[in-house]
Copies of this chain bind each other. A is one copy, B any other.
Amino acid sequence: MAKAKKQPRPKAETPKGFADYFAAEVSERKAMLDTIAGVYELYGFEALESPAVETVEALGKFLPDVDRPNAGVFAWQEDTQTDKPGDWLALRYDLTAPLARVYAQFRAELPSPYRRYAMGPVWRNEKPGPGRFRQFYQCDADTVGAASVAADAEICSMLADTLEAVGIERGDYVVRVNNRKILNGVMEVAGLLDPAEPAKFLDVRGIVLRAIDKLDRLGTDGVCALLGEGRKDDSGDVTKGAELTSDQIAIVMGFLDAKVADGGATVRRLSDLVGSSTIGRQGVGELEYIAELMDAQGYGADRVVIDPSVVRGLGYYTGPVFEADLTFEILDDNGRPRQFGSVAGGGRYDDLVKRFTGQEVPATGVSIGVDRLLAALRAKGRASGIQRGPVVVTVMDRERMADYQAMAAELRNAGIRAEVYLGNPKNFGNQLKYADKRNSPVAVIEGGDEKARSVVQIKDLILGAKIAKDATLAEWQSQPAQVEVARADLVAEVRRILARTP
């Protein structure tokens, strides 16, 4: 300890790309996670909490968004304190890779199908940027071991229910559904996929997939450029194109454009586009079945729509893919209105467990971006980001701390958040400033005079702030911001004030 003095002081800084969350930021997110978990539970999913740390071997190379620079994981090698090299460990980058590991490991004991949900932080070793953090929450539900696309349909309806449960009104969101097999069929028609040799053209298909995924952001022209020669962005950076012929581009763009108002008509157009491709026809059939199940349960086009432009960037999807978009507008950083966009996505991935076991295990799931969803609720005024503080019992006489503690205890026993001011009580103004900073609704004051008369002063801090802001307002005059009540009426009076200022 003595040595520490010679060292320079450490910097008190959140590591770059990470964030600290305070008070309402924590409790609002928690409330949202609880609500989402409630819907997931209602649908029969059960909780799984796997550790933050996995072996690099188990995580595999399924990192999403592989075209981003510096994409990666936080990893380190175990120090075994022997000659033996240690395992490489890493922080999980999503909740799907750990699920595949858990399912492969415990499949003999787990129910089949295994419906699990998981929520918690994931970590990405990426270059931090505005609004892009290296630790963020995901909230996933997956069904492992169910081959039927009824499992996918169910996840789409659950996603709609979840969004409404957290406070996104019907009409303010849409769940868009597509099927990767249809895209494969279209690629077959365009000569970009040979069913006999699926490994061929893989690189080109990756570029096509990522290009389509950018339709929202780049528009038709941008995507066409990426499908062809490539694209130069505003900063002059060039993104390599897929080098498709104009006929091929027309086929792919025809697919993206296949959506019409009526779901049935969209499916018919898609059916034409995939021609005789076996995989394509299979995809159309699955999409029809999902649409049928959705309709039967009353999830109409106001909630779930078929939309061929949804492809999801992730390489591992093999069948249905879906995405939940918020359709209302917010102002972007430049003050321009734009659609809020995607808050959740998912799809079917039948190969993830196979990595471990060699056997294909059908699986489908969804991941909700909790922080984006919270941002949306705040933009709509449905989450405040502000938490009301506790009632503050001030300290007029530091010898009578036990009296003040007894008041706080009485309030707490009545279920009211309350505390005694525990800073230096000398400056009374500081005590009220503290209550103000805590956003406290009420301060309780009992000096020697009050004590002698068996009364307390109760200050309505919310009303007080309003009066201070708008002192001329006559209506406030009838409601004094500070009242004197009998000590015995402390709890009743505080409760009365709290009821007045919800």
Contact = CB atoms under 8 A, between A and B. Distances in A.
Nearest to A424: B147
Nearest to A56: B10
Q: How many copies does the complex hold?
A: 2
A58 B11 contact: yes
A247 to B, nearest CB: 27
A20 B49 contact: yes
A387 B406 CA distance: 40
B20 A422 contact: no
A51 B18 contact: yes
Q: Is the interface of A mostly helix, strand, loop or mixed?
A: mixed
A20 B293 contact: no
Nearest to A47: B26
Interface in A27-83: 27, 30, 41-44, 46-55, 57-58, 60-61, 70, 74-76, 79, 81
Contacts of A46: 22-23, 387, 389, 438
Contacts of A16: 87
B2 A202 contact: yes
Contact of A74 (B89, B402, B418): B89
Contacts of A101: 12-14
Nearest to A1: B202
Contacts of A296: 402-403, 405-406
Interface residues of A, number: 107
A419 interface: yes
21 contacts: A4-B355, A10-B58, A11-B58, A13-B105, A14-B51, A18-B51, A20-B105, A22-B48, A52-B121, A53-B134, A53-B135, A74-B76, A75-B76, A79-B125, A111-B438, A112-B423, A115-B419, A150-B405, A150-B420, A293-B401, A296-B402
Interface of A: 1-2, 4, 9-16, 18-23, 25-27, 30, 41-44, 46-55, 57-58, 60-61, 70, 74-76, 79, 81, 87, 89, 91, 101-102, 104-106, 111-113, 115, 121, 123, 125, 134-135, 143, 145-148, 150-151, 153-154, 157, 199, 202, 292-293, 296-297, 315, 355-358, 387, 389-390, 392, 398, 401-403, 405-406, 409, 412, 415-420, 422-424, 434, 437-438
